[in-house]
Amino acid sequence: MLYWFLKRLALGPVLRVLYRPWVEGLENIPTDGPAILASNHLSFSDSFFLPLVVSRRITFVAKEEYFTGKGLKGRFNAVFFRGVGMIPMNRSGGSASDGAMNAGLEVLREGGLFGIYPEGTRSPDGRLYRGRTGVARLALKAGVPVLPVVMVDTDRIQPPGRVIPKIARVGVKIGAPLDFSRYEGLEEDRFVLRSVTDELMYELMSLSGREYVDMYATTAKAAASKAAEKAAASKAAATKPAA
């Protein structure tokens, strides 16, 4: 399968030599059985380095746009991401995201590891943003533990917008599993889902040492984009020659 070929024979050995990834808490990964790996999200490369340091296969969700591109590049991306076991996810929320969650539930019911980014998108500035409750719903429905995972310095080698990563060492921290079995049967209670998600995000904040922002990352990105557009418009108006 493409996943194991890339990890063991092709991409994996290259990444190990160039980036020398280190890992803490590997003993927290169960040797068998289902679990959710919930990680902060700093870089596109996160989905490569976490599977690299974990011996078991991890199935991730990836944004739907990676699977729907046009032309040769679009087809290549779709084949690649499906080949390494990623599941397309519609990030608009609600029922549009149910397909990916149902696929994740199936992975867990089959005893696999499922990777997810609770923030829903990459952090625009390295800080940790408010988590979305899909991870909590999935954990309660499947009745599985959630392991907080922190990616270290992946934003330094490949910040948003950079295509080719710089060469520098990166790391992964894996925290102790979180048990939410006390909420069994309450996966549709929005207050419980928010409580579970916030507990997870607190663990990610503690493990990472990153500043927490009680705002969705998508909201922060939209505000930054709007501010940039406004600044560009103001600059253009200021430099426009008088009639």
Q: Give residue-wise pLDDT tens across range 45-73.
A: 999 999 999 999 999 887 788 788 888 87
Within a domain: 130: yes
Residue 91 binned pLDDT confidence (cut-offs 50, 70, 90): low
Higher pLDDT, 102 or 237: 102
In a domain? residue 5: no
Nearest one of 150, 143, 123, 136 to 53, comparing CA atoms: 150
Indicate if the pLDDT at residue 92 is higher than 70.
Answer: no
User: Regarding predicted confidence, which is higher, 75 or 168?
Assistant: 168
Bridging pattern class, strands 212-213 and 22-24 = unpaired
Diameter over CA atoms, the chain: 73
φ/ψ region of 94 (left if φ > 0, alpha if ψ in -120 to 50, else beta) reads: left
Range of the domain at 95: 22-62+88-236
**How do strand 22-24 and strand 171-174 relate by DSSP bridges?**
parallel
Q: Is 199 exposed, middle or buried (0-12, 13-18, 19+ CB in 10 A)?
A: middle
Query: What integer is the mean pLDDT of 124-141?
Result: 96
176 part of a folded domain? yes
Residue 225 has pLDDT above 90, yes or no: no
9-13, 76-80, 124-128, 230-234: range with lowest mean pLDDT: 76-80
What integer is the mean pLDDT of 212-236? 89
The stretch 213-233 carries a mean pLDDT of 90
Looking at the 3D structure of the chain, how many domains does it have?
1
Instruction: Specify the pLDDT at position 82.
Output: 76
* Confidence (pLDDT) at 242: 58
83 occurs within a structural domain? no
pLDDT reading at 231 higher than 80 = yes
pLDDT given at position 203? 98
Tell me the C-alpha distance between 238 and 66, whole Å: 39
pLDDT digits (tens, 9 = 90+) for 178-214: 999 999 999 999 999 999 999 999 999 999 999 999 9
Q: Domain with 47 in it: what CATH number?
A: 3.40.1130.10
Nearest to 129 by CA among 138, 118, 114: 118
What is the average pLDDT across 123-150? 96
**Would 94 be classed as within a structural domain?**
yes
Residue 41 has pLDDT above 70, yes or no: yes
Across residues 134-147, what is the average pLDDT? 96
Q: Strands 171-174 and 146-152, how do they pair?
A: antiparallel
How far is the C-alpha of 185 from the C-alpha of 164, rounded, in Å?
45
Mean predicted confidence (pLDDT) in 69-82: 80
Is 192 part of a structural domain of the chain?
A: yes
How many CB atoms neighbour CB 196 within 10 A?
25
Distance of alpha carbon 114 from alpha carbon 240, whole angstroms: 54
As a whole number, the mean pLDDT across the chain is: 90
Task: Indicate if the pLDDT at residue 243 is higher than 60.
Answer: no
In a domain, 149, yes or no: yes
